[in-house]
Amino acid sequence: MPLGALLYRRSSEPQTIEVAFDQAIYLVRLRRHRQARRYTLRIAATTRDVTLTMPPRGTLEAARAFAQKHGAWIAARLHRLPEAVAFADGTVFPLRGVPHRITHRSGIRGTAWIEVDADGQPLLCVAGGAPHVGRRVGDYLRREARRDLEAASWKYAAALGVQARRVTMRDQASRWGSCSTAGALSYSWRLILAPTFVLDYLAAHEVAHLVEMNHSARFWRLVARVCPDHERAKAWLDVHGSDLHRYGVSTR
């Protein structure tokens, strides 16, 4: 067996460990990485998962000690995150910045669609069994996000005289979008929760990287030229962006 495989193989190693702090138990996922030089902790805002990355030669004992030593940090970071809101019957969440209430329609065929109730409140109606409501809402939002972000990307690409090769949706906690040197654009589907001018700005931002793969003054002049509302959108994300990560997260 190659030496590398021997270094990373830990057949009896658990996938998670528990950290006790202030009468609470926190579950920590273990992950080995061949390029890691030290133990590190990371909390994903989108899932609330706590992950401890270990170097190839790291030990389980050292990992437990490191995690326990940082129990207060884990607790503080998790408590600082906005309260999680699951996609379920009765949940109110923003769609393009407008509050919508999820309404389960178990006796109707279909997947998900928009209606307005007698008081003018927008509803996202979801058909099918109750256990599938969350998944169907998530699928619907990803489809809507792809549609809006593709349209915005093509619009700004035409305005700047460039071509995007493809547009994909992800659920990243650390960034709202990215642009590869090959011309592939990637966005967080959660932008569909934000007002339309915010989604438009992110599309303009990433498409501008097809011209300038940096954040130079020239880059920002390109963004301002095609998206005059960009400063307002940036300010909105600074204030409300983290709040978008709490929707669709299981509260169990």
pLDDT value of residue 69: 95
Overall number of domains in the chain: 2
The alpha-helical segments, DSSP class H, found in the chain are 3-8, 60-69, 71-80, 133-160, 196-208, 217-226, 230-240
Torsion sign (Cα): 229, 214, 206, 77: negative
Residue 75 shares a structural domain with residue 108: no
Give exposure, 122-137, as e/b (b: 16+ Cβ within 10 Å): eebbbbbeeeebbebb
pLDDT value of residue 48: 82
pLDDT in tens, the chain (252 residues): 345 544 554 567 899 999 999 889 999 999 999 999 999 999 887 778 899 999 999 999 999 999 999 999 999 988 888 788 999 999 999 999 999 999 999 888 889 999 999 999 999 999 999 999 999 999 999 999 999 999 999 999 999 999 999 999 999 877 899 999 999 999 999 999 999 999 999 999 999 999 999 999 999 999 999 999 999 999 999 999 988 988 987 655
Residue 238 shares a structural domain with residue 174: yes
pLDDT value of residue 251: 54
- Cα separation of 126 and 10, whole Å? 44
The CATH number of the domain where 208 resides is what? 3.30.2010.10
Residue 41 shares a structural domain with residue 99: no
Q: Are 78 and 28 in contact (CB under 8 A)?
A: no
Which residues span the domain enclosing 194? 92-246
Q: Does a structural domain hold residue 209?
A: yes
Q: Does a structural domain hold residue 57?
A: yes
Q: Does a structural domain hold residue 159?
A: yes
pLDDT value of residue 250: 65
Q: Are 192 and 144 in contact (CB under 8 A)?
A: yes
State whether residue 207 is helix, strand or coil: helix
Q: Does a structural domain hold residue 138?
A: yes
Give the number of other CB atoms < 10 A from CB of residue 213.
12
Q: Does a structural domain hold residue 86?
A: no
Residue 28 shares a structural domain with residue 115: no
Amino acid identity, position 96: R
**Torsion (CA) 172, 174, 176, 179 in degrees, nearest 10:** -90
pLDDT value of residue 1: 38
- Cα separation of 215 and 208, whole Å? 10
Q: Does a structural domain hold residue 85?
A: no
Residue 215 shares a structural domain with residue 172: yes
- Cα separation of 180 and 210, whole Å? 8
Retrieve residue 13's tokens.
């190693």
- List phi, psi (to 5°) of 17: -130, 165
Residue 210 shares a structural domain with residue 145: yes
Residue 99 shares a structural domain with residue 207: yes
pTM score of the predicted model: 0.77
Residue 152 shares a structural domain with residue 238: yes
Residue 59 shares a structural domain with residue 97: no
Residue 68 shares a structural domain with residue 121: no
